[in-house]
Structure 1
């Protein structure tokens, strides 16, 4: 028992339905006669003290008082004694042979005063007494309680009444044990009750399972997502709101009309004011704004297959819940606002060790602060498969640390692919400490396995609990997979949710694991077969990038995926057709950005440039103002680091990346972007020509594409996917007018042409119009798998063409 064994000087009091119940120490001299009367009553037979005299009871109380492991108490209601209770340390009293006590265990016996004359007892008194005594055992010492972590009881298994009362207080039966007390032996139901058990019980105060699911937070989240739905789905031309004057618009659907205020910008970019949205039924009845109802009302226009509509709505519901949780954390100050984030990203250099620590901490803080998810997709926080506890443990915005689990996978069924400058021994020596490697080898040997026959594979803890022991039960049973337990290092998830940053050793590689949850149109697995050539692709692309003087001068770099591992020994790899079950046990390691940072430089995901905090303050706006330079100069520095290298890769090498906000890590100094680091190369890089001779396996990324489609690598992924959002933020905040924003973009494109007159690429980024590729239409068409990774180009959905904001005059 962690609490002091000396009686508190003040009574513990709990307000109950029957009144205030107070617990105070029993005094042998004055309480023995009262307790004797109670014990002599037939209702107290379980105490086996009916034959005791008053002196015997007084002696019993004195013995308890003298024992440092026990205490005796009287419970009073309005100064009238109503119950007697004893607390004890089960590590030293009564249960020493039958209970594995842990620090914080408090044993308890309870005797409620025998019933008075019929009809005289207050209704609910026994419940109130039980609640008071359990609360007393668990309450902090400062409040007069026993400071227990668990209450332990051992009632006779035949006592149905006390079993029901214990259950009502939240006690959980561990097992049946034989208990001997005072010469009497009984079969007892050894039971425990934690603070959480008691709080959630009928006698406890109750637990709000999801306190973020509140009406006020829901109102904000519904309006925010409804505004985004109206904006992005109008952008994708799934409907056309009608202007009604003075910046207001109207959308008439079957039986309901939406009206709202909005501003429109280049690239058919809408910014809808969430507070302005009204939803009115036929006849003028005002309805609440509800994004789920909005999607249901839009269904005829969206083209969602009937059999997938519920799944899309579930992903949207999860996104709604996450939006409420994120706002709740922001309002509580748990998530830093934009000014605080900007302060961290503009902080000056200190000594090298502290500077590195600050850079790592700031990077993690920015990652956890992102509240929007993908700026274009509506249902972007699906995470179907996560429970509420999983969300709290593993969602990036929670910022919680986790430990990866490790599995030994039999070498003959497992591949480990490495970049050319890596070796198996060197890789594992760097990623696992000596203690971990020794422990893993010992655990394998203890099971009769030769460690040399296995490779070590990291597994997300969710995957380790939900998939490994169930989906791969046969593989574990035959020893092809051997769970080894959690590793030593702590990680936090990036916005991509299945990529982990090492917080214990920040310079070590990021780890990307399979995670079999449904999120934003995909089951987030990793294919061992697809990743087998990932390091080879990374080597080839890295050699191209580092060998190009223009890209080196721009500071453009890659975070290589230096190693990949995948297990293929399961039966799912022997089915006739590929399936999601083949993608559940694989991982890759990616280089960290931290070793590339100089003192005074800070890191941030590019997605942060589109972030607005709970007050509506934009991080990009804060960075521009904190930088001390003109907005156009700030924008040009960013585009020189981001757009210019991408244009060069496309025009000089026919090379295209997937350069959305989460795939770029920006290096900043004093709030100004210095350079950009690209990640997620193996899955998403594309060579838009087959003219080059490529190493075996690397040819997977090559395809012949016409010049106008090549240009979409910039138009769709950069202009439409990123810059239209940033332009809208800076224009709305009065930082930089939209025409000046796109003028700077045009200047950067033209500068590349001027500085590379020898390039003969037919890609024209100043053309009048380009094909309008639509992201939400992909997810709406197939929310299970919106893109075929083996042929992404063929998966795209277009809605005509859009005017190019940097078209030639």
Structure 2
């Protein structure tokens, strides 16, 4: 076979295990076939493998034949039943495919053969198997086959964990065979993706601005009308308790002019049309519009990328991998914060950085490590660990020795330094520029990348260790503008963070009611902050003072029992691309009556939050991203609270449980009405109004029954704790309507003063309490 031979005519025929096992085994044994992981299989093992494929009605094996000689082995499979059951929302007409091209002969490679084989195989899937879509999952490192996939028209969706490997999930619409996906990194900004994002965000903006009493739609036939003056928005909607609107996105239209000319939905236009009503300061209009644009871009990318179905997320991974399943859910979230309109700003990330560091990308990255001069750095540790124990837990000895060698080569004493992780974006865009003098005088020393891979979490500054899941989360300063804040971290706050966490964790662990509920905290048990820079030598607050700090938070993985799964609570409000809700799927999968499922969830979430508030005067920030639910058999059995150091507050001071002076910053005494908002606003309005609407809209549980369960949960707790320290009336007829979007609209650069959040609140009158007694 000469090097300039042509591919010739190719055909596809079924493989015969007995006849073809030796041939396929010879191909698998070749170094070029290492991605199949069967190099050591002998002929008998390969024959059994081919027989198993042939015996499975969901799989088929094929040979590609050229001029009477086999030149490739192909497997096709039903992705709803085989391999991709955890990560791909299969539809009728989907076919999965694997391809093994025979190694090139010793007397020359046939130019174009692999491309011709690929084309023949996908046409076979279309013509013989009726495939509308072909899905493949090559190893992320197998760039050669990825190039061939791209040639024939496969488009990359996302990275997934499948069959023990990190794979690049890709799909081909068979009507586009031969049309390469050449749109590049901005492919998500095509009209078909952006239009979906615009529709969703406009619907969400109308719903949330209505909820916050900034706009008032009026009845219009069998639907509703919002007239902004410049445009008229018509839609159908279901109205729920707490003035919550579930808008039928498909029904949403926009018209302009006296003749009612239809025009496309545009979230930025809506903001500009409502500018006077929203009250955005002139100087911040551009920033808010940019956060809206970034939120749209993120939503468009999520739409293009797709994700697991709600059913897949609800049932977990078929291989029982708790870690992979936990992170599948983290990466699948699409909504950001359920109430905020501009929820995914991330101003500062470019296209490549979005793919690398946005949580929904599901990607992996390596932290950059710095040596920070000890004289200018404060490493704070939990009471139960020493510095040596901390580094032994978080870094391998080989890595620490590499760090030390780097310092020795520079003539520096390792004992004078501590190790500081920084986000790679922060290193590239902030540390190497903003702290160049500190690097130049070797108060900071670049140590290169660490060995562990991390996956970004919904809380964008935080990452989960995928190399060693038992190790801590790492949270680092990240100076991107996102949802009302530049996401820095204060070294001053880091100084007391482990002590705050120790105090809260001790209180929680000692409480029998919380133990019985399975309620625990994930301690931030180590924190570090660097203050040797010029910005800390002047007593003027600035973003630069919050650019070099980090903390380590306990992982829930070592505290998970066999049969338990982990699930971010944000998943309960998640709907997949087809509109199916994870919460509804969990209820169905549990086999319980919906009311019983909700009761158990409330016992694991609402009851502990109420208990901490009314018995200990302790308030968390208990939104979906801050809780990790423990699930067994699709039922919530417990919860881990996280993000303690920056957000916990003690709302009253009591002599019988004094707060140590060293953590006095968490004490913020407030009156009973404001204390009750820790449940009314943060739980009822911030979480439960969305969940109640999801279950009601899906026909799973009427919202009236949902709120009856909420009231019963609170009454039961009060009856069991008559001596609670602060017997708040959580069933008062109304409560102050505290508004989140109004905060961001007022100042999208800094929504609240974290040191005095109470003074930052914006209220819009009173909200009827869905569990209020008349």
Q: TM-score, normalised by structure 1?
A: 0.74
Alignment partners' CA distance in 1, 2:255 and 2:5:
64
**Which residue pairs with 1:596 in the alignment?**
559
Aligned residues of 1:492 and 1:503 also touching (Cα < 8 A): yes
1:202-221 Cα deviation digits (max 9, x unpaired): xx996534111111112111
SS in 2 for 1:409: strand
Matches within 5 A, 1:41-120: none
2:291 is the counterpart of 1:319: no
2:4 corresponding residue in structure 1: 8
Report if aligned partners of 1:8, 1:144 keep a CA contact under 8 Å in 2. no
User: 1:92 matched to which residue of 2?
Assistant: none
Other-structure match for 2:635: 672
CA distance in 2 between counterparts of 1:499 and 1:416 reads: 18
Contact kept, 8 Å, 2:500 with 2:645, in 1: the verdict is: yes
Q: Deviations over 1:618-670 (max 9, x none)?
A: 00000000000000000001000000011111110111000000000000001
Equivalent pair of 1:138/1:148 in contact (CA under 8 Å): no
- Do structure 1's residue 477 and structure 2's residue 440 form an aligned pair? yes
1:557–1:677 CA contact under 8 A, matched in 2: yes
Correspondence for 1:736: 701
Superposition deviation, residue 139 in structure 1: 8.5
1:276 aligns with 2:241: no
> 1:535 offset after TM fit, Å?
0.5
Within the candidate set 744, 751, 770, 1:805 is matched to 770
Q: In structure 2, how many angstroms separate the alpha carbons of the residues matched to 1:139 and 1:792?
A: 67
Corresponding residue number in structure 1 for 2:353: 390
Report if aligned partners of 2:331, 2:362 keep a CA contact under 8 Å in 1.
yes
Could you report, residue by residue, the CA deviation over 1:107-150 in whole angstroms, capped at 9, with x for unpaired residues?
xxxxxxxxxxxxxxxxxxxxxxxxxxxxxx998773599x999x
Ranges in structure 1 where 5+ consecutive residues have no aligned partner:
13-136, 150-203, 348-353
Correspondent of 2:674 among 706, 709, 712: 709
Report the equivalent of 1:291: 267
CA offsets, 1:537-595, max 9 Å, x none?
11111111111111111111000000000110000112231111011111000000111
Q: Which among 411, 434, 437 is matched to residue 448 of structure 1?
A: 411
The answer to whether structure 1 residue 781 and structure 2 residue 757 are counterparts is no
Which residue of structure 1 aligns with residue 231 of structure 2?
256
Let me know the Cα RMSD of the aligned residues: 2.1
Match of 2:473 in 1: 510
Distance (whole Å) between structure 1 residues aligned to residue 110 and residue 215 of structure 2: 59
**Residue 341 of structure 2 is aligned with which of 378, 386, 398?**
378
Q: Distance in 1 between matches of 2:232 and 2:443?
A: 60
Q: CA deviation at 1:789?
A: 0.5
Could you give the per-residue CA deviations for residues 305-353 of structure 1, whole angstroms, max 9, x where no partner exists?
A: 01101100101100001101101111xxxx21111111217x6xxxxxx
Query: 1:275, 1:368 → 2: CA distance?
Result: 26
Q: CA deviation at 1:277?
A: 1.4
Contact kept in structure 2, 1:766 and 1:807, CA below 8 Å: yes
Instruction: Name the SS of the counterpart of 1:728 in structure 2.
Output: helix
Could you tell me whether the CA contact under 8 Å between 2:611 and 2:717 is conserved in 1? yes
The structural deviation recorded for 1:245 is 4.1
Tell me what 1:636 maps to: 599
Cα separation, 2, equivalents of 1:216 and 1:207: 13
In structure 2, the residue matched to 1:336 is 308
2:421 corresponds to which residue?
458
Distance in 2 between the 1:141 and 1:574 partners? 66
Say whether the 8 Å CA contact 1:139–1:148 is kept in structure 2.
Answer: no
- Cα displacement (A) at 1:732: 0.3
Q: How does 1:62-461 map to 2 (within 5 A)?
A: 142-143=114-115, 207-246=183-222, 248-283=223-258, 284-330=260-306, 335-344=307-316, 355=320, 358-461=321-424
User: In the alignment, which residue of structure 2 is the partner of 1:757?
Assistant: 722
CA distance in 2, matches of 1:144, 1:360: 40
**Matched residues in 1 for 2:773 and 2:212: separation?**
24
Query: Aligned in 2, Cα 1:570/1:752: closer, same or farther, shift over 3 Å?
Result: same
Query: Which residue of structure 1 lines up, in the alignment, with residue 661 of structure 2?
Result: 696
Match among 538, 543, 557 for residue 520 of structure 2: 557
CA distance in 1, matches of 2:544, 2:191: 39
Other structure's SS at 2:213 match: coil
SS of the residue 2:488 aligns to:
coil
For residues 465-489 of structure 1, the C-alpha deviation after alignment (integer angstroms, 9 at most, x for no partner) is: 1112111111001100001011011
Deviation for aligned residue 1:254: 2.0
In 2, the alpha carbon distance for the partners of 1:542 and 1:565 equals 20
State the TM-score, normalizing by the size of structure 2: 0.77
1:547 to 510, 513, 518: 510
Q: Distance in 2 between matches of 1:750 and 1:225?
A: 37
Deviation at 1:691, TM superposition (A): 2.8
Please list the CA deviations of residues 522-544 of structure 1 after superposition, one character each: whole Å capped at 9, or x if unmatched: 00110101111000111111111
Q: For residues 691 and 507 of structure 1, do their structure 2 counterparts lie closer, same or farther at Cα, with a shift above 3 Å needed?
A: same
Change (3 A) 1:447 1:144: farther
| Structure of greater Rg | 1
Partners of 1:731 and 1:760 in 2: CA distance:
35
Aligned pair 1:721/2:686, yes or no? yes
State the match for 1:528 in structure 2: 491
Q: SS at the partner of 2:661?
A: coil
CA change 1:143–1:266 in 2 (3 A) is closer
Task: Report the Cα distance in structure 1 between the residues aligned to 2:437 and 2:278, rounded to whole angstroms.
Answer: 43
- 2:546 alignment counterpart: 583
- Cα displacement (A) at 1:497: 1.2
Matched residues in 2 for 1:697 and 1:313: separation? 41
User: Which position in structure 2 is the counterpart of 1:770?
Assistant: 735
The whole-number CA distance in structure 2 between the counterparts of 1:529 and 1:291 is 38
Q: What is the Cα deviation at residue 274 of structure 1?
A: 1.2
Equivalents in 1 of 2:406, 2:286: separation in Å?
A: 45
Give distance in 1, aligned partners of 2:570 and 2:766.
Answer: 26
**Contact 2:4 2:110 (C-alpha < 8 Å) held by counterparts:** no
Query: 2:633 & 2:143 partners in 1: Cα distance?
Result: 50
Cα distance in 1 for partners of 2:738, 2:387 equals 42
Q: Distance in 2 between matches of 1:305 and 1:484?
A: 43
